[in-house]
């Protein structure tokens, strides 16, 4: 698997080893997808049954000014990895993003909903999706990730609760906080299943805003959730526009005979001891 040094990759490696799977974790220093020869050489060397690609350029704002560099990883690198995987007969599971959508929906995005990225990062990830699908890959779109192996919104809110009297958080972006450990479990299940190639949405169920998410974190801390103050995206301008609505539907799991992921609040409560341990 690629991207093994990231927040999701670390949880996936831990889970696979716990379940006795033979996993070869490759961090960026081991496999740089910008190298035209690296993907083919890695697949030839490892000879995997399943390839999970967690590697990506994830600096959303930086991609606005460096789209070609982001595309080298998220698009061209994925194309070479997908071709190498297909050539070896390995199942490819490629991790993608809600940013392939424009965020104008009012109902959860279905897996086959038309895509229309609003920023450079989304465009490069969409290029990777199309490359993977053209070689029979499985796409897992996810969003709003948090976990114990990297910086994320949940750990930031825990820290700020101890540093500030109040915290302003946007209340006009809607999505699904998703625990990386839950997503790792779903990726393993997909890898072991006979689910057909295509797009699957890997987010915890339910929906909230960043403001609602922050209030739940304060509740779990035993802090007054009214210390979280609602604001709008206009108060936090950033180089890359964000989709205002990133709620994803999960019908593809049911069609493949698998239940969707659990509600985000239940997942956050189970993740809580791990999150508070590292802040």
What are the residue numbers of the active site?
Answer: 121
> HSE (CB half, 13 Å, CA atoms) of 122?
17
Place of tokens 């797009």: 199
Q: Alpha-carbon distance 53 to 144, whole Å?
A: 18
**Which two tokens mark 151?**
């910086």
Task: Report d(CA 69, CA 226) in Å as an integer.
Answer: 42
In 3D, which of 243, 40, 205 has the Cα closest to residue 125?
243
Residues with Cβ within 8 Å of residue 161, at least 6 apart in sequence: 167, 217, 218, 221, 223, 227
Task: Kindly state the tokens that stand for 252.
Answer: 């593809």
Contact 249, 194 (CB under 8 A): no
The per-residue b/e assignment along 164-197, b for 16 or more CB within 10 angstroms, e otherwise, is eeebebbbebbbbbbbbbbbbbbbbebbeeebee
């Amino acid at each position: 698997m690629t991207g093994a040094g990231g927040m999701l990759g670390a949880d996936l490696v831990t889970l696979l080893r716990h379940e006795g799977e033979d996993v070869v974790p490759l961090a960026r220093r081991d496999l740089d997808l910008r190298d035209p020869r690296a993907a083919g050489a890695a697949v030839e060397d490892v000879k995997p049954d399943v390839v999970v690609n967690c590697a990506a350029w994830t600096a959303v704002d930086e991609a606005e000014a460096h789209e070609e560099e982001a595309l080298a990883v998220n698009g061209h690198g994925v194309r070479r990895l997908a071709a190498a995987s297909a050539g070896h007969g390995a199942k490819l599971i490629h991790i993608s993003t809600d940013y392939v959508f424009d965020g104008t929906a009012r109902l959860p995005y279905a897996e086959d909903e038309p895509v229309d990225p609003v920023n450079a990062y989304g465009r490069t990830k969409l290029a990777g999706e199309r490359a993977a699908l053209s070689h029979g890959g499985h796409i897992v779109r996810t969003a709003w990730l948090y976990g114990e192996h990297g910086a994320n919104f949940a750990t930031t809110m825990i820290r700020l609760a101890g540093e500030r009297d109040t915290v302003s958080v946007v209340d006009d972006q809607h999505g699904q906080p998703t625990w990386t450990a839950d997503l790792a479990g779903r990726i393993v299940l997909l890898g072991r299943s006979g689910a057909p190639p295509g797009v699957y949405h890997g987010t915890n169920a339910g929906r909230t805003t960043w403001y609602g998410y922050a209030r739940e974190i304060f509740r779990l801390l035993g802090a007054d959730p009214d210390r979280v103050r609602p604001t709008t995206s206009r108060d936090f301008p950033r180089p890359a526009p964000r989709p205002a609505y990133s709620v994803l539907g999960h019908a593809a799991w049911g069609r493949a005979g698998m239940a969707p992921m659990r509600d985000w609040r239940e997942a956050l409560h189970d993740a809580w001891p791990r999150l508070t341990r590292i802040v």
